[in-house]
Amino acid sequence: MKQCRLGGLDRFRPVAALLVVAIHTGPLLSWSRDVNYLLCDILARLAVPFFFAVSGYFLVPELRARGVSALLPFLKKGLLLYGLSALLYAPINLYSGYFSQPGLPLELLRDACFNGLFYHLWYFPAVLLGGCIVCLLVRRLRLATAAAVCAVLYVLGLLGDSYYAFTNAIPPLKAFYEALFQCFDYTRNGLFFAPLFLLLGGCLAGRGNRRADGRYAAGLLLSLGLLLAEGLLVKQFHLARFDALYLSLPLCIFFLLCWLRGLDLPARPQLRRWSAAVYLLHPLCILLVRGGAKALGLSALLIENRLLHYLAVVFLSGLLAAPFALVPRKRPEPERGRAWIELDAAALRHNVNVLSGLLPEGCALTAVLKANAYGHGDLECARICQKAGIRSFAVATAAEGARLRRGGVRGDILVLGWSGAGAVPLLRRYRLTQTVVSPEHARLLDRCGKRLRVHIKIDTGMHRLGTGWDDAASLRELYACSHLQVKGLFTHLAASETCSPSDQACTQAQIRRFWHAVETLSGAGLPIGALHIQSSYGLLNYGPLEGCGWVRTGIALYGLLSAPQDHPRICPDLRPVLALRARVAQIHTLEPGEHAGYDGAFTASRPTRLALITIGYADGWPRALSCGRGRVLLHGQPAPIAGLICMDQLLADVTEIPDVRPGDTATLIGRDGDAVLTAEAAAEAAGTITNELLSRLGPRLPRIVGSEA
């Protein structure tokens, strides 16, 4: 799967900014008013809706996941930019007499809330008001209903804009719009214009990433043709009061975003900042170019020649905007104080691609993120996987799923474990899919009276959660609950970790039982949805299974096996994602016979140097690795753990490693120079499996993501 990139969107931002400059300068007026109309009054109208849609692309998924908590930073940033921009243009407004007009307080209120405090600044109140409206809609309504409301608002805007001639011919509508225009000058604002494009961008952000193929390009060209035809008809029949809203404009933006987001191009954040600066500064540059041209006697060249005027404004705007693109954003340094986990994003992306390559057409990876992504960090891993193209995730509890949604994770999130009635609000609010394990469980959830998406767990021999594969009556009963929408069926293999004859027989029997249950339900005309049988070992030992839509990958996704002695049939090139490190705080020197640690568990048999390392069992490092059973790496060399591991520290014998000093980094899992300590080996030494060792790594350990490029 390809990484979902934003490079296409970033590269169109400067184009959109230059189209806005064209609207305000009319570069082709000296040549042909009709051609200039085609460019500036029709095609260039793509620019601002594109900016709205890109804002929605990032905002709406956050609103759906976190609600008002995601809206407030958006409003804060927008208001700050709006305020600074208004201050920048205040001297020009003062010079033009804006502050001397009668009824100034009311005009200031109208302009601040709708029209903008300078002619191009209307974008800010529009995007802020539109963001509030969209937040209200997506939190209260289904997405389709919210889209319908936004479409109705847009049509109302059309009747006050490009199609005002129809409105003006109907007295009640005319009176209605005349009343509206007492509050604002145009329906091109945050009430009628912005919500539809914000929501459109947000809906596209939740779609699976596809390459920019010919269909999107053809759709874009066709929709642009419709836009040109519509614009010419509006002009020919004098329909418009103002021509910013067109019926075909949303279709153009849809195809434009679909095409741009499918381009396999790296992100360019500096283009975002440059484009925004050009948008904000270009009216000032128009005044500077005109004033300079008059002062230098170049009016004929730089004002009357509209193309040269446009190019001069673009040059000056681009020059003034350049510092905003060139100054890098400061990122806070990751905290590597006492102990921490490092995540290799490149390794995780690599594993996603390798495992995806094992799957047949129509089957996709489901990233299992339960137990804080096996200790790796659920949000950190989810975001990397999401950018790598994964669109479905699995967790153990509704609370884990809600945490992912609040963190902005999109796509399907399946709760694998049992959830009671108390979890239904979380399931509903965060659009989680719940596993149903029995008719009793289904009835419990159904009695809550809330529509839920569910997957049915079928017990084929594991004998944990699930309804028996041969209990057809109970399986059909799960479909009788009116509030539960069955979106999938799955089972769990009990003995897929090894390929012994007995385990193979057990696994094949489970697979046959699952398909028997599926055939029973589909034969009864019941929907079966997504089917999934395999987890990591099921895939690595048995290869892909035809007919399944998902493969639930847990431990393999993180580049690991449960135990070092495991040798699956398929051994793909997987890379460990996690490294665990801690800091050396102090060095102790012991004489022969001296003791260290609790209970004097370590006794020096020679002159000894011990390093105090700032990690302990409260961080999740097993106490079973005490007294030499575990090791750490320092300066690329192994050092045995000395004595008992404490709650917050442990001691390592560094007698054979010269120059170890306070502040040095000790590696407990991962690479140090040419030496490697694996999670599998540490788990085996602790008498457990990798899954348990990593899942116990606690929240005191910050997760630091590296290799983002």
Annotation marks residue 370 as catalytic: yes
Strand partners, 641: 652
Cβ contact 403:375 at 8 Å: no
Q: Which of 539, 538, 557 is nearest to 388 (CA)?
A: 557
In this structure, which long-range contacts are made by residues 354-362, counting pairs with CB atoms below 8 Å and at least 24 apart in sequence?
354/572, 354/573, 354/574, 355/539, 355/551, 355/553, 355/556, 355/557, 355/572, 355/574, 356/1, 356/389, 357/572, 358/539, 358/543, 358/544, 358/570, 358/572, 359/544, 359/551, 360/544, 360/546, 362/549
Instruction: Tell the burial category of 479 from Cβ atoms under 10 Å away from its Cβ (0-12, 13-18, 19+).
Output: middle
Q: Look-up: residue for tokens 């000790």?
A: 666
Q: How far apart are CA 481 and CA 322, in angstroms?
A: 61
Half-sphere exposure of 523 toward its Cβ, with a 13 Å CA cutoff? 8
Dihedral pair phi/psi, residue 59, rounded to 5°: -80, -50
Neighbouring residues of 696: CB distance < 8 A, sequence distance ≥ 6? 375, 620, 622
Q: How far apart are CA 64 and CA 202, in angstroms?
A: 9
Q: Which of 370, 387, 457, 487 is an active site residue?
A: 370
Annotation marks residue 387 as catalytic: no
Written as six digits, the tokens of 494 are 């009990």
Q: How far apart are CA 665 and CA 642, in angstroms?
A: 17
Neighbouring residues of 638: CB distance < 8 A, sequence distance ≥ 6? 631, 632, 675, 677
Written as six digits, the tokens of 108 are 């200031």
Cβ contact 109:101 at 8 Å: no
Q: How far apart are CA 315 and CA 282, in angstroms?
A: 10
DSSP state of 407: T
How far is the first Cα of the chain from the last one, in angstroms, to the nearest whole number?
A: 17
Helix (H) or strand (E) segment spanning residue 412: strand 412-415
CA distances in angstroms from 363 to 391, 534, 541, listed in the order given: 12, 11, 17
Strand partners, 283: none
Q: How far apart are CA 597 and CA 616, in angstroms?
A: 13
Rounded to a whole number of angstroms, the CA Rg of the chain reads 31
Identify residue 159 by its one-letter amino acid code: L
Cβ contact 43:228 at 8 Å: yes
Q: Which of 173, 139, 135 is nearest to 56 (CA)?
A: 135
Q: Which of 77, 95, 294, 598 is an active site residue?
A: 598
Cβ contact 642:653 at 8 Å: yes
Cβ contact 36:28 at 8 Å: yes
Q: Which of 662, 649, 567 is nearest to 609 (CA)?
A: 662
Q: Dihedral angle at the C-alpha atoms of 59, 65, 68, 74, nearest 10 degrees?
A: -20
Cβ contact 502:533 at 8 Å: no
Q: How far apart are CA 528 and CA 533, in angstroms?
A: 13
Helix (H) or strand (E) segment spanning residue 633: strand 631-634
Written as six digits, the tokens of 39 are 């460019």
CB atoms within 10 A of CB 509: 13
Q: Look-up: residue for tokens 């390392």?
A: 613
Q: Which residues are identified as catalytic? A: 370, 598
